[in-house]
Structure 1
C-alpha cells in the first residue's frame, strides 16, 4: 500500500463513528480536538493585538480596572501637541540674524574710482562731440554694472560737467564721502520687510561679534540715498548733482539677512525645549485601581508602554499569561459547544462536514468581529445573527443558541467588547435569529426575520439606555447598524449560506422541506393523477404524522413532507395496490404469492430510484426506506404456506428490505401508515374501536421490534396514539342517516334504507365486502394485511370491541425511561 493509501486508511475513522477499537476512537475524537486547538490558537490573532503590558481599555476619564506600578525607571515625555506648541513659541522668539559686511562699502568706493579713472582715459579722445562722450560714459558705466542707456539719462549739462577733469574729481570725492556712510550698516527695504521681530542680531563679519540692534534703528537703502543727496547740497552744479544721484546706485547695502544663521538659531531654540515633563522611578505607581484615569496618568502610562516596546516588547510574564488565557478562553467556549453536540446531537459530532460547519460559523463571526474591533466599530456590526440563523436552520434552534453563547463568551474576553453593551447586543441579535428562523415559511418572507432581528437590536439599545450604559444617540446608532446587520446577515444566510451549507453537509433545512411540500411538484402531481388512492392515503398519513410530531416535539415539517413522498414508488405499478384498484378488479388474483410480495416490496426500491432522479434529500429518502421497516407481508406469506406442494417458505422473500426506522419522525410515519390504512377497513369506526385499533397496531410494531432503532420513548408512543385517535375520530365522525325516499308500495325506512343511507348497521365496509372481487369469501383481507399495504378483498370486521379497551401495558420494545 502506498504512503497516501496508508494515510487515507488511518484517517478513515475521522468521518465515521469509531468502531475499530481504541485507535479509531483516538483518530475520530483526536481530529476534532485538533480542530478546536487550531481555532483556539487562531482566533486571538484575528483581533488587534493588545499593547505590551496589557493596558488595553485604559483611557483618560475611564475607571482603571487594575493597579499598575513601574518595573523600571523611565522618562515621561511631554504631550506631542504641547511640545510642538512650546517649540513653535521658542522658534518665533528667535531674533533674526543679520550679517554686517563693511567690505561692501570699500567695494562701492572702488567702483567709483574705477569709473572716474576710466573716464579720465576716454574723455580727452572724445571731446570732438557730445554724442561720443555720452556713448563712452554709458559704456564705462555698463562695465561697472550701472545702466545709463536710457534716453535722456545723460544730458548736455552732464556731458559738459564730465568734460572738466576737476569736476570729475569733485564728483569722485563726493561719492567716496557718501559711500563711507555704508559702514554704519545699510539694508534693503525688501529684506527688512521679512523681519517681524523688534530686534535683530548683527554679526560683524570681521570679528564675529554679535550685537543686538533695534529694527527701527537700521538704515534703509532708500534713507541712505536720500541722506547722501541732501548731504551734497549745493556743492555740485545741476549736471554734477544729477550724475551723483545716478552713480549712488553703485553703493551696495552692508547689512543682509543671514538665512543659515537664522535657521540654525531657530533649530537650537526648538531643541532647547525639554521634551520630558517628568521622571518615574522603579516601583512608583502609575495607575491606581478603581480610580478615574487623569490625562497626566495616561501620558505616564503611554510612556511606560513605549519604554516596554523599546526594551523588547514585553514587560513581564503577565503578557504571556494573558495570551495563554485568551487561548484557553476560546478553547473552553468551544469545548462547551463540542460537548453539547457530543452529548445531545451526536449525529452532528460524528458527521465531519456538519461538525466543521458548526466550528466554521464561530470562526467566520470571530474574523468579522476582529475587523470591527480593529476599526473601533459598534458591537451591532458583529454578524452573530448569521451564525445563529445558519446553525438553527441547519440543525436546531437550541444548538443555534449554544453557538451564539459561545461567540458571546469569546467576545467578552476581547478588550474592545468588554463591558455590558457588547454581550447584550450580540445575544439579542443572535438569539432572535436562532429562534425566529422557523417563523419564515418561504424565502420571500425573509423580511420578517430582518424586522425581528432589528427589533431585538432596538430593544437591546433601549435597555442599555435605561441602565445608563448608552446615551440616546448610541441607541439610534445601534438600531441603524442593527438593521444593516440584520439585512446583510439574512440576505447572506438565505441566499448564499444556506444552500451552500445544505449541499456541503447533506442536511435539509425546513425551508427546503417547505419547498418540497408544494403539491405542484412533479412527483406529487403524478401521484395525484396516476395513483389517486395512494395520494389520498399520503395526505391522511401526513396529517397524522404532523399532529403526532408536534405533540412529541419532533420535526413536524420533516414528518409531513417525508410522508408526502413515502409511497411514490407505487407509481411504477399503481394498479397493484388496493387503494388504487376499482372494485372487483384485483390483478393479484392472477399472480403467485411470491410475485405479489415482490411487487409490494419493490415499491420501496422504485421509490428510492425516483427520489434519486428527483434529487430529493436524504431525509426524505429515509421515509421511503424506513416506513415499512423489515415487516413481513403476512397475507402473502401465509398464502404461500397454504399452497399445496410447498414444503418450506423463506420468510425473507416476504419481508420489506428495511432498515427499521432510525428517527422519531420515520417511526411515527411507520405507525401512522399502518393506522391510516387499517382504519379504512374498520367497520363502525367509533372512537372506542379506533383507539383499540391504534393500540393493537402500535403494540404489534413494538412486539416485532420495528421501533427498536428509533429514539421514541414510551411517553412519545402514548402521545402519538392519543393524537392518532384524535385525528381519526374527527376524520370518521358519525354522519346523519338520511332515509332513502320510499319506492312505490314501500314504507319509508323499510328494508334497504339503512344500507342506502350508509348507516352503521349495514352497508359501508360490509357492503363493500359483499361486492368485492372474486375470492372475497376465501381470501379476505384482515387488519394486518391492510396495515402492511397488502391487497385483497375487504371483509366485514367485527373483532374489535365496541367499548373502551383496558389500558395497554407498557410496551416492552420502547424505552420507557428515555426522554431524549
Structure 2
C-alpha cells in the first residue's frame, strides 16, 4: 500500500509511536539538557542589562562588555577627516593658450593701422581701441619695431601663472597648490613662491615699465595692455571640493574595539564622555527588537553544536572504548556541560574578584590563560579514545572562543590547549603519571604562549602582558588536577574502562584471580596463556591488547564453582564419563552464568562482563551432543539448541579475538607433539570452524584482519609450545630417578656424601 493510501488514523499511530520512542530515548534528554544549558549561558552573556550613566557620574559597579562591540569614536573621526581635508592642496586651472589670443589681437590692430590711410572709416580693430591708445599707436605709425617689442612683452607676461587677485591664492597645510593644464590634464604641485605667480598688479607694473614715452598716452597704453592680459590661472572650486570630499571619505571611522568580557569601567571610577557613548551603544544593541533575532540565532547555533556533538560521540569509529552509543553520548554531554560551567563560573566570579581587590587590568586579561581549557581533551585521552579527544578539542575550541570573545592569538592558544593533551597524556600507567603529564602539559602551554608572544612581537601585532606565561602554566596544572578529580566519577557513572583501570585489574594479586589460582589452577594458567595469545593477535590488527589480556584473565572465572568438570583441572579421571550428557551440558553451560555473577559481584567493568558469554558465542558442545545422540533413539535425536551456548555471539573485534585465542589454546594443549605444522593446522581449523558456524558474523573483522590474527596466534603458539633439547643424563620417564651426572667437559667428578655433586 502506498503511503498516500495509508489511512490517516494509521499514520497518526505511527507518529505517536515514534514520538513515544523519541521521548524515551535518553540521548534526547541529554541533548536537551546540554542545549538548554548552553543556550542559557550564551543568551545571558549577551542579554543582561547595561547601566546608563552620564558623563561625570561615579560608577557604582564594574561593567564588562557582554559581547564583542565596535564603537565609533566620532570626535576623533571628525578630527582626522578635517585634517585629511586640509591636507588636500587646492586645484587651479591653467590655460596656456590665453597669451595666443592677445598675440592675435595685437597683430590685427597693427595690420589694420598700417593699412589705414587716415581718410576712410576706421577699421573695426582700431575702432574698438580707446581713443588715447589709438592716437598713441598712430603717432608711432603702427611700426614693426613697436609691434615686436609688445609681442615680446606678451611672451614674457605669459611665462608666468597669472591670477587676478592674490586673495584667490590658497594652499594646503604645507603651503602647496596644484596647477592643472586644462588641455592635457597634467598637474604640477608646488608652492606659490616657486611657481612664479603674478597677480593683476604685477602685470600692470610690468607694462608700465615696458611701454616707453611717458605721458598720459603711455599710461593709457600700459593700462590697456594690462587689461588685455587676461588671467591664465583661476581656482577650480568644484574640483577642489570634490577632492577634499573624497579625502574625507577615504578616512575610515575611528573604531574602538571592545572585546567580550573587557572591562569598560570599574566601580568608583568617573564616567567619561567616551565611556558614556560606549554604554549607550551597548544598551542600544540589546533592545527587545534585537534580542528576538539573537535568541533565534543562538538557538539554531546551539542545535547545530548539539548535532555535531551527537555525530562525534555516536558515529565516529570507536578506538579503545567499548560502549553503547547512549552512555557514550551522555559522557560527551557531561564533559561539555562541565567545561561550560567551569568556564562560566571562573570568568564570571574570579575575574570579578580580581577587579575587586584592585589588580591591574593586565592581570584580568592574563587570567584567561589559567582557565582549564585542556580538561575535556585530557578526559577523553584518559578514557582511551585519542581520536575522539582530538575531535572534541577541535569542536570545543570555537565554542569556548565564541563564549569568551577571544581574538585571533587567543584562539590559537585555545587550539594548542585542546590538542596538546593528546601528546602529553598518551602514557598513563600509574596515578602519579597524571601529575607528571600535567606538569608536561603546563610546560608545553607556557612554551606555546611564549611562541605566540614572540610571533606577535615580530609581526608588530599588539602583545599580551607577560603574566600570561605564568597563567598558562597554572592552566595546565589546573586541568590535570580537575582531571584527577573528575575521571573516577565518569568511570563510575558511565561504566567506562580506562587504561589505568585495566592495569589495576591485570594485577595477579586481585582477589578474584587469587581464588581462581587456588581453586582452579589449570584454568588460571589457561587464562594467562589465552591472554598472551589474545594480546598478540590484538596488536596485529590495532585492537585493544590490554583490554584483551585483562578479559582473558577473567573469562573463565565461572569454572571455580566446579573446577573438576573442566579438562584443564582434571588430574584423576574425567567425571563426565560417569555423568549423563544432559547433566554435563548443564554443568558446562552454567559456568557462563556463574562467571557473570562473580564478575558483577566483584564490580568488574561491563566490557569485561560482556566478554564472558561472548567468547563462547553460540558454539555447540559437540562432544556431549554426540554422546547424547548415542543415548537417544534414532528417530528422536536431542535438540541441538539445548547443547549450544546461549550467546550472544562476539559483538566486537576484541570479543572475537578472545573466542579464537581461547579455542586455539585449548586445542593446542591437547596435542601430544605440538610441532609448528600441527599448531598451524590447529589455528586454521579453529578459525575455519568459527567462520562456518557463523560465530564471527556480528563482528567487524575483515578477512585481512583474520589473516593477521591467524599469523599472530600461530607464531605465539610456536613460542609457547616450542620443543626443548633433552637434558643429558636425566631420565624423565617412568623409571627410578637417577642422580648420576656425567662429567662436564671431560673432567672427572666425584660422588659427594650428599645428594649433589661438585665439579673439581
Q: Select between 44-53 and 597-606 the one with higher mean Cα deviation.
A: 44-53
Aligned to 2:315: 343
**Would you say the 8 A contact 1:671–1:697 is kept in 2?**
yes
For residues 565 and 389 of structure 1, the distance between their equivalents in structure 2, rounded to whole angstroms, comes to 29
Aligned to 1:44: 42
Structure 1: gaps spanning 5 or more residues: 1-17, 54-63, 75-282, 744-750, 757-820
For residues 337 and 471 of structure 2, the distance between their equivalents in structure 1, rounded to whole angstroms, comes to 22
How far did residue 48 of structure 1 move?
7.1
CA displacement, residues 612-633 of structure 1 (integer Å, 9 cap, x when unaligned)? 2212121111121211111111
- 1:328-727 matches, within 5 Å, as 328-344=300-316, 351-374=325-348, 375=351, 376-378=364-366, 379-394=368-383, 396-414=385-403, 416-420=405-409, 422-468=410-456, 477-494=467-484, 496-582=485-571, 584-643=572-631, 645=633, 647-727=636-716
Residue 738 to residue 530, structure 1, CA distance change in 2 (3 Å): same
Residue 539 to residue 348, structure 1, CA distance change in 2 (3 Å): closer
CA displacement, residues 223-268 of structure 1 (integer Å, 9 cap, x when unaligned)? xxxxxxxxxxxxxxxxxxxxxxxxxxxxxxxxxxxxxxxxxxxxxx
- 1:220-369 matches, within 5 Å, as 287-288=253-254, 302-308=275-281, 314=286, 325=297, 328-344=300-316, 351-369=325-343
**Would you say the 8 A contact 1:424–1:460 is kept in 2?**
no
CA displacement, residues 438-466 of structure 1 (integer Å, 9 cap, x when unaligned)? 41112232222212211321231232133
How far did residue 673 of structure 1 move?
0.4
Residue 741 to residue 448, structure 1, CA distance change in 2 (3 Å): closer
For residues 348 and 521 of structure 1, the distance between their equivalents in structure 2, rounded to whole angstroms, comes to 23
**Would you say the 8 A contact 1:47–1:370 is kept in 2?**
no
Structure 2: gaps spanning 5 or more residues: 1-14, 52-67, 79-248, 260-270, 352-363, 739-760
CA displacement, residues 625-682 of structure 1 (integer Å, 9 cap, x when unaligned)? 2111111110111011112657321122321121111122111101110011111123
**Would you say the 8 A contact 1:389–1:434 is kept in 2?**
yes
Residue 26 to residue 476, structure 1, CA distance change in 2 (3 Å): same
Residue 49 to residue 317, structure 1, CA distance change in 2 (3 Å): closer
- 1:191-206 matches, within 5 Å, as none
For residues 731 and 669 of structure 2, the distance between their equivalents in structure 1, rounded to whole angstroms, comes to 30
Residue 477 to residue 531, structure 1, CA distance change in 2 (3 Å): farther
How far did residue 474 of structure 1 move?
6.2
CA displacement, residues 112-156 of structure 1 (integer Å, 9 cap, x when unaligned)? xxxxxxxxxxxxxxxxxxxxxxxxxxxxxxxxxxxxxxxxxxxxx
Residue 621 to residue 415, structure 1, CA distance change in 2 (3 Å): closer
Residue 427 to residue 523, structure 1, CA distance change in 2 (3 Å): same
Aligned to 2:199: none
Task: Tell me the secondary structure at the aligned position of residue 467 of structure 1.
Answer: helix
For residues 47 and 648 of structure 1, the distance between their equivalents in structure 2, rounded to whole angstroms, comes to 75
- 1:112-191 matches, within 5 Å, as none
Residue 36 to residue 363, structure 1, CA distance change in 2 (3 Å): closer
CA displacement, residues 144-187 of structure 1 (integer Å, 9 cap, x when unaligned)? xxxxxxxxxxxxxxxxxxxxxxxxxxxxxxxxxxxxxxxxxxxx
**Would you say the 8 A contact 1:384–1:404 is kept in 2?**
no
For residues 309 and 532 of structure 1, the distance between their equivalents in structure 2, rounded to whole angstroms, comes to 76
Residue 534 to residue 325, structure 1, CA distance change in 2 (3 Å): same
Residue 472 to residue 681, structure 1, CA distance change in 2 (3 Å): farther
- Name the TM-score, length of structure 2 as normaliser: 0.59
How far did residue 45 of structure 1 move?
4.2
**Is residue 24 of structure 1 aligned with residue 21 of structure 2?**
yes
For residues 503 and 251 of structure 2, the distance between their equivalents in structure 1, rounded to whole angstroms, comes to 66
CA RMSD of aligned residues (A): 4.2
- Name the TM-score, length of structure 1 as normaliser: 0.55
For residues 277 and 682 of structure 2, the distance between their equivalents in structure 1, rounded to whole angstroms, comes to 84
**Would you say the 8 A contact 2:31–2:306 is kept in 1?**
no
For residues 472 and 454 of structure 1, the distance between their equivalents in structure 2, rounded to whole angstroms, comes to 24
How far did residue 713 of structure 1 move?
2.4
Aligned to 2:101: none
For residues 478 and 550 of structure 1, the distance between their equivalents in structure 2, rounded to whole angstroms, comes to 43
Aligned to 2:3: none
How far did residue 585 of structure 1 move?
1.7
Q: Select between 620-629 and 36-45 the one with higher mean Cα deviation.
A: 36-45
**Would you say the 8 A contact 2:438–2:476 is kept in 1?**
yes
